[in-house]
Amino acid sequence: MQCKLAGVFWRLVGWLDNERYQPPANATDVSIDWWRVFPFVLLHIALFGLLWVGWSPFAVGFAIVMYLIRMFAITGFYHRYFAHKTFQTSRFGQFLFGLIGATAVQRGPLWWAAHHRAHHVHADQAEDIHSPHQHGFLWSHLGWFLSHANFHTRLDRVKELAKFPELRLLDRFDSLMPLLLAVAIYALGTLLESTAPALETNGLQLLEWGFVISTIALYHATFCVNSLAHVWGSRRYQTRDHSRNNLLIALLTLGEGWHNNHHHFPGSAKQGFYWWEIDFTYYGLRLLAAMGIIWNVKRVPVHVREQRPSS
C-alpha cells in the first residue's frame, strides 16, 4: 500500500517537475500516458464551465489580449528565436519571453525548439513526429504532443541554449508558469468583482475566459501549423515537404500560416515574404527592434525569395 501511495505521490510531483517523470514500463512510442496528460484533458473539459460563468465584454476582451500576448511569445520567440535564431536579444530578453511563452502551456522553450528543429530536418518524412502525411491528421494535430516518446527534451538539438541554467529551469518546471498565471487571473477577477463591479466579471469568469478558453485557442491554432498547414493551402516553392501557405492560419497565428515560405527559408524572421502577406509577429518584432530589445533581425534575401522552379 505504501509503495502504491509513494508511486502516486511521485507521479503527482511529475506534473510539476519534468525530471521526476518516468513513463510506465509498458509505454510505447505511440502510447499516451493519460495520467500525465490529465491536466490537458481537464482543461478541455473546463470549457463547459462557460455554461455557469457566462460572459462579459471585459472577460472576452481579456481573453483576446491573453491569446495575443502568448501567441506572440510562441511565434516570435519560441519559434523564430529559440528554434531558428532569426534575431538576437539579451540573456534577460530571452529568459523573459521564454517565461511568457511557458504560460501558453506548450512546454518549455528548449523542448519546443528541439522538437521544431527535428521537424525541419525530417519534414514530412517518416522521422517527422507530427507529419499528417506520415502519421495521420489527428496524430499530427495533437497526438504527438501527448505521447511518451516526445515527452523529454532532446538537449543535444539545442546545445547553445541548454548552457543557460535559467532556460533549463523553465524547461524542467514548465507547468509552474501556467499555474501561477491561472492563480493570478483568478485573483484579478476576484479583485475586479469588488472594486469594479461595472465590469461584470469575477474570478471564475475571468479564469474561464482569460486562461481556459484562450489557452485552448492557443493550442489548436498552433497545432494547425503542424497539421492543416501541411495539407491545405498554396505552394509557391517546391520544397521537399508538403508545407503550404494559408491566409486563415496566418491570421490565427500572427503570421505562421505562411508555412511554405518558412520551409523555403527558415532563417527569416519575416515569414510573410511579400507586403500583402500579413505577418503580425514580424511587425511586433520590428517594434521590439526599434526599442532596442532585439537586433540583427534577419529577412529572406531577394534572390531566395524570388526563386522559382525552372520550367
DSSP string, 11-34: HHHHHH-GGG----TT--TT-B-T
Q: Tell me the per-residue pLDDT of 262-272, one tens digit each, with 9 for 90 and over.
A: 999 999 999 99
Distances in Å between the Cα of 234 and the Cα atoms of 138, 220, 279 are 21, 21, 17
Residue 95 domain-assigned?
yes
User: How many domains does the chain divide into?
Assistant: 1
Residue 1 domain-assigned?
no
173: exposed, middle or buried (C-beta count within 10 Å: 0-12, 13-18, 19+)?
middle
| The model's pTM | 0.93
* pLDDT of 8: 61
**3-state DSSP assignment of residue 295:** strand
- The boundaries of the domain holding residue 240 are 40-305
Residue 238 domain-assigned?
yes
Residue 141 domain-assigned?
yes
Residue 17 domain-assigned?
no
Which among 225, 223, 186 has a CA at the least distance from the CA of 206?
A: 186
Q: Where are the alpha helices (DSSP H) in 74-199?
A: 91-102, 109-121, 132-135, 137-138, 144-146, 159-162, 165-172, 176-195
Count the neighbouring beta carbons within 10 Å of the beta carbon of residue 22. Answer: 13
Count the neighbouring beta carbons within 10 Å of the beta carbon of residue 264. Answer: 22
Residues of the chain with pLDDT under 50: 311
Residue 126 domain-assigned?
yes
* pLDDT of 85: 97
CA distance 237 to 212: 37
CA distance 25 to 218: 32
* pLDDT of 311: 44
Structure-block grid coordinates of residue 159:
546545445
Cell 475586479, located at residue: 192
**Amino acid occupying residue 272:** G
